[in-house]
Amino acid sequence: MRLTKRLSLFAAAAAITASTAAYAAPTFINVLTGGTSGVYYPIGVALSQLYGSIDGARASVQATKASVENLNLLQAGRGELAFALGDSVEDAWNGVEDAGFKTPLKKIRAIAGTYPNYIQIVASKESGIKTLEDLKGKRISVGAPKSGTELNARAIFEAAGLSYKDMGRVEFMPYAESVELIKNRQLDATLQSSGLGMAAIRDLASMVPLNFVAVPAEVVANIKSDAYQAGVIPAGTYDGQDEDVPTVAITNILVSHEGVSDDVAYQMTKLMFDNLPRLATSHSAAQDIKLEHATANLPIPLHPGAERFYKEQGLIQ
């Protein structure tokens, strides 16, 4: 009888311990961003700080090679939130192998459309590059291989009747490394896809006289994706940039996956939109994040948690 009673007590204690452990288990929120010299990273840091206030959450931020890597990591459950370009998200959902997705990534879910990336093509003045056509025979960096930036470069060059074969040399390097090579006269130009006022180009413009290369509206119209829209880099965005520069804009999307609980996805969405002024202090690009645009033209399904938030806001039925 005593043995039975003791066993019962042990079982009860074990159940309480297991229940307590389960209750106390932290919720990990890893925010996947991009290179530290880009825009994804500082905004991601600000988001992770916000998400640290979620009860029981442990938030972190991870620098990555951006869109393509981020989406593949989400599919594998190695992150809870990620920044990605809209065209990369569409390619991920459809499993476009040439874009870096061996199979369709059907676990990914949208949290919000955010601010636009702008294609920013800058060249040293001494290179003589003023137009897309002038890139022929020149040395250019187009981002890491199969990164969102590099996929943008391919699409734009194709629309302009150009290819990598037309260039003198093509390097596949991230923002900061590309800028250093231009400073050292080892590159003539770089194409970067990012929010306005990005640190790498600000740094370059402060040290090297630059030409800002336009992407004309007729080239934008030739791009084979609805994710690309005509945009403008306003005059004065960078040192020495005295005129507006026509270019391409692509919406960035915050993406999660179906394994993230509805409650956590809801809180991530709500905290972001409740704290937009705070996000804007992390980088000026975040000023373009608008609640009214959050659900427009998303190429993948919304996460149910985010959908709940937008229904509360009256954005969707």
Angle at 123 between CA 121 and CA 126, to 5 degrees: 165
E strand or H helix that includes residue 85: strand 81-85
The pLDDT of residue 24 is: 55
Asked, for residue 44, whether it belongs to a domain, the answer is yes
Q: What is the total count of domains within the chain?
A: 2
Looking up residue 132, the CATH number of its domain turns out to be: 3.40.190.10
Residue 8 covered by a domain: no
One domain, residues 288 and 140: no
Question: Which pLDDT belongs to residue 225?
Answer: 85
Same domain, 65 and 87: yes
User: In this structure, are 149 and 231 located in the same domain?
Assistant: yes
> Would you say 125 and 213 are in contact if contact means Cβ atoms under 8 Å apart?
no
| Range of the structural domain that residue 288 is part of | 26-115+251-312
129 shares its domain with 237: yes
Amino acid at residue number 224? K
39 and 56 within one domain: yes
| Residue 244 shares a structural domain with residue 255 | no
Return the closest-CA partner of residue 310 out of 274, 251, 253, 269: 269
pLDDT string in tens for the chain (317-residue length)? 444 444 454 444 444 444 444 445 789 999 999 988 889 999 999 999 999 999 999 999 999 989 999 999 999 999 999 999 999 999 999 999 999 999 999 999 999 999 999 999 999 999 999 999 999 999 999 998 878 899 999 999 999 999 999 999 999 998 889 999 999 999 999 999 998 999 999 999 999 999 999 999 999 999 988 889 999 999 999 999 999 999 999 999 999 999 999 999 999 999 999 999 999 999 999 999 999 999 998 999 999 999 999 999 999 98
Question: Do 282 and 221 share a domain, yes or no?
Answer: no
The reply to whether 21 falls in a domain is no
Inside any domain, residue 147: yes
Farthest CA pair distance, the chain: 94
Give the pLDDT confidence score for residue 211 in this predicted structure: 98
CA dist., res. 89 & res. 68, Å (int) = 8
CB 118 within 8 A of CB 149: no
For 141-191, the DSSP string reads E--STTSHHHHHHHHHHHHTT--GGGSSEEE---HHHHHHHHHTTS-SEEE
Based on the domain organization, do 235 and 299 belong to the same domain?
Answer: no
Res 1: pLDDT: 47
The CA-based dihedral angle spanning residues 244, 250, 256, 258, taken in that order and rounded to the nearest 10 degrees: 160
Dihedral class, residue 67 (left if φ above 0, else alpha if ψ from -120 to 50, else beta): alpha
Q: Does residue 109 fall inside a structural domain?
A: yes
- Does 160 lie in the same domain as 198? yes
What pLDDT sits at residue 253? 97
Closest CA to 38 of 225, 229, 218, 252: 252
